[in-house]
Amino acid sequence: MADKGGKTMRLDRFLAEMGEGTRTQIRDMAKNGRIAVNGVIEKKADRKIDPEAAQVTVDGRPVLYAEFEYYMLNKPQGVVSATEDRLHTTVVELIAERKRGDLFPVGRLDIDTEGLLLITNDGDLAHRLLSPKRHVDKQYLAVVDGTLPADAAWIFKEGIVLEDGTKTLPAELVRAGDVALPDEERTAGPFGEARSDSGAGDHTAWILTIREGKFHQVKRMFEALGCRVTYLKRLSMGNLKLDESLKPGEYRPLTEAEIRVLKEG
Ligand code: URA
């Protein structure tokens, strides 16, 4: 981040923030003549630059500055909501066009959950969206196996006591039978579950809106009523809605309007 109120920052910090290496690595790169500022080789990594105006290159490759980045990802199944993982691809690795090295997912979706995930380096925004005090709405499409009681919507509204004795905040449950589900939600997924839309067999589709983010919350809420979630997709978070043109695994930068509205919300 640029110094508050000033226009300059150290070259090594600039390059470290843009994911070009550690400060030590960057100092070595500078000593070896690999870094240029405004077309001139710069060997002093602690030199101050204007991050918005300076043309910085590493090995002749331009490094563009972005203080904050915001991406909407349609998280696919099989990818983990983390910044690093030894076994699985992470959601951050899916953002091929990222500039910064400090992006992270805002909250977590389970490995087998799809849908909206915000990827950013804006810690203040993440904090506001995730703060338990703010009760930001999160809306999910859930396909469940089993039969919910007739008064399930009322039970969800009253708050559900989970298996560990904690009670959830009021949540809104509506049948998704009236919404046309895209093919991907009807057919068997990579996790081998037979899925169908509302009404077919034992599987029914629901739209659930919750206002908190307990561990595996949606799955545990349905489990408390004797049903198993076989497919889960997040549709929205606060006033940010998943762009349905994004297929699982695809992403796009947020628009200026989306960023503004998210910050205001
Ligand atoms: N609730 C869950 O059970 N899983 C998720 O991934 C998100 C919410």
pTM: 0.84
| pLDDT exceeds 80 at position 198 | no
Q: Which residues have a catalytic role annotated? A: 110
pLDDT digits (tens, 9 = 90+) for 125-176: 999 999 989 999 999 999 999 999 999 999 999 999 999 999 999 999 999 9
The dihedrals phi and psi of 130, each to the nearest 5 degrees, come to -100, -10
pLDDT (tens digit, 9 = 90+) per residue, 48-102?
999 999 999 999 999 999 999 999 999 999 999 999 999 999 999 999 999 998 9
pLDDT on residue 57: 98
Is the Cβ–Cβ distance between 49 and 59 less than 8 Å?
A: no
**Does residue 219 have its Cβ closer than 6 Å to ligand 1?**
yes
d(CA 104, CA 122): 9
The answer to whether 225 touches 149, Cβ cutoff 8 Å, is: yes
Fold of 9-63: 3.10.290
**Which amino acid is residue 167, in one-letter code?**
K
Amino acid at 142: A
Q: Among 116, 218, 234, say which to mutate for ligand 1: greatest number of ligand atoms within 8 Å of CB.
A: 218
Angle at 238 between CA 254 and CA 146, to 5 degrees: 115
Q: How far is CA 6 from the centre of its chain?
A: 31
pLDDT at 143 (0 to 100): 96
The residue contributing the CA closest to ligand 1 atom 2 is 216
Q: From the CA of 77, how far away is ligand 1's center (Å)?
A: 12
Helix residue spans in 73-205 (DSSP H): 123-130, 152-158, 183-186
- Whether residue 100 contacts residue 121, with contact meaning beta carbons closer than 8 Å, is answered with yes
218 lines ligand 1 (CB under 6 A): yes
Positions of CATH 3.10.290.10 in the chain: 9-63
Q: Fold for 70-131+240-264, please state it.
A: Alpha-Beta Plaits (3.30.70)
Whether pLDDT at 2 is above 80: no
- Between 197 and 49, residue with greater pLDDT: 49
Spatial contact of 121 and 102, defined as CB atoms under 8 Å apart: yes
Distance CA 248, CA 99 (A): 22
Number of neighbours of residue 122 by Cβ within 10 angstroms = 20
Pick the CATH number of 138-237 from 1.20.1300.10, 3.30.540.10, 1.10.3720.10, 3.30.70.1560: 3.30.70.1560
- The tens digit of pLDDT for each residue in 243-261 reads 999 999 999 999 999 999 9
